[in-house]
Amino acid sequence: MKLKTILFLAFLLVLAQVQAQQLAKPDTLKTNGGPLVIQPITHGTLALTYKAKTIYVDPYGGAELFKGLPKPDLILITDIHPDHLDTTTLAALNTEKVRMVVPRAVAEQMPEKYKKQLVVLDNGGQSTQQGIGILAMPMYNLPDTADARHPKGRGNGYVLQVGDKRVYISGDTEGIPEMRRLQNIDVAFVCMNLPYTMDVDQAADAVLEFKPKMVYPYHFRGENGFSDVEKFKQLVNAKDKNIEVRLKEWYPKK
């Protein structure tokens, strides 16, 4: 009996460890071209699958996090910081012949082997890849100074046209005028972590101005732990109940 109990407890421990490593449950959004599957992965990293094509955004955190996911057909990178440009994770993934849309500063730091795969976009630049329209958006700190962690023009946020849906990925930014002027955004991924980007109050204020139909707080681990995303949800919905705030587990335990 003791041996059976020990084996059973060992099984439960292994099962708990496996479950702890599981990613957040994906969401599915209907578009006029078919379903868009949204898979949170970690921090500022996510995967989007549409028409059997998969986009990785800022692949980071090790290849283990991507096990069981389709291999990428397209990769978007927002900035040069290692939680966005993670060359170790890139090297461990199957990225052969995969187009990578990147800002110029990222292109300059990419290993030589990827150079022919790059599509370089400056802020305001546009491209269509795998049937997805891509607009490079500014992302920067306020005030906009040369010594800011994220100076204007270095990194890209992105607006994606996926069927009839517009998806905004903020990258590392504060509640900049370009974000606040966005229109007709169906899904937004908005960062909120001090001292690198903005706090939940600023993020909520910006979201209430551009009014996406749905918003995911993401990239919310900061210098002093996690931002209060529940407070963000309360701030948004206290003034606009029509904005759906989706809270997901962006930090799977390893």
Q: Per-residue confidence of the chain (254 residues) as pLDDT tens digits?
A: 454 444 333 333 333 333 345 899 999 999 999 999 999 999 999 999 999 999 999 999 999 999 999 999 999 999 999 999 999 999 999 999 999 999 999 999 999 999 999 999 999 999 999 999 999 999 999 998 888 999 999 999 999 999 999 999 999 999 999 999 999 999 999 999 999 999 999 999 999 999 999 999 999 999 999 999 999 999 999 999 999 999 999 998 76
Q: What is the value of pTM for the model shown?
A: 0.91
The tokens 């504060």 sit on which residue? 174
The rounded distance, in Å, linking the Cα atoms of 210 and 180 is 5
H or E stretch at 13: helix 2-20
Report CA 104 to chain centroid distance, whole Å: 19
- Decide: 200 and 229 in contact? Cβ < 8 Å: yes
- Decide: 47 and 41 in contact? Cβ < 8 Å: yes
Query: Tell me, what's the pLDDT at 239?
Result: 98
What is the total residue count of the chain? 254
Query: Tell me, what's the pLDDT at 21?
Result: 53
The rounded distance, in Å, linking the Cα atoms of 246 and 208 is 15
- Decide: 122 and 103 in contact? Cβ < 8 Å: yes
Query: Tell me, what's the pLDDT at 240?
Result: 98
Q: Residues 6 or more apart from 110 whose CB is under 8 A from it?
A: 85, 87, 100, 102, 118
- The answer regarding whether domain 26-242 maps to CATH 3.40.50.150 reads no
Pairing between β-strand 244-245 and β-strand 214-218 as defined by DSSP bridges: parallel
Residue 108 φ/ψ, nearest 5 degrees = -70, -20
